Amino acid sequence: MDFVRVIKNSNDLEKIVDLPQSLKNRKVEVIILPYADKEDLEQPKKKESKRGSVQI
């Protein structure tokens, strides 16, 4: 799984994310992970057929 981890000044993020007052004017760690929709998690995985795979 790919991800991004970076240390930024919280002032750089105020136009993107609503930060609590306690995090303003401080360095913060930003971690970006891929998001899995609920629909993605509920899709059944396809099973491969084993028919005809055994040779004698």
8 falls within a domain: yes
Residues 1-56: tens digit of each pLDDT: 899 999 999 999 999 999 999 999 999 999 999 998 766 666 666 666 667 666 66
Structural domain includes residue 43:
no
SS3 of 43, please? coil
| φ and ψ of 10, to 5 deg | -60, -25
Residue 10 · residue 30 · CB < 8 Å: no
Whose CA is closest to 5, among 26, 25, 28? 28
Domain coverage including residue 19: 4-34
Number of structural domains (the chain) is 1
Per-residue pLDDT, 36: 82
Q: Give residues with Cβ within 8 angstroms of 29, minimum separation 6.
A: 5, 6, 7
Question: How confident is the model at residue 40, as a pLDDT?
Answer: 63
Q: What is the pTM of this model?
A: 0.56
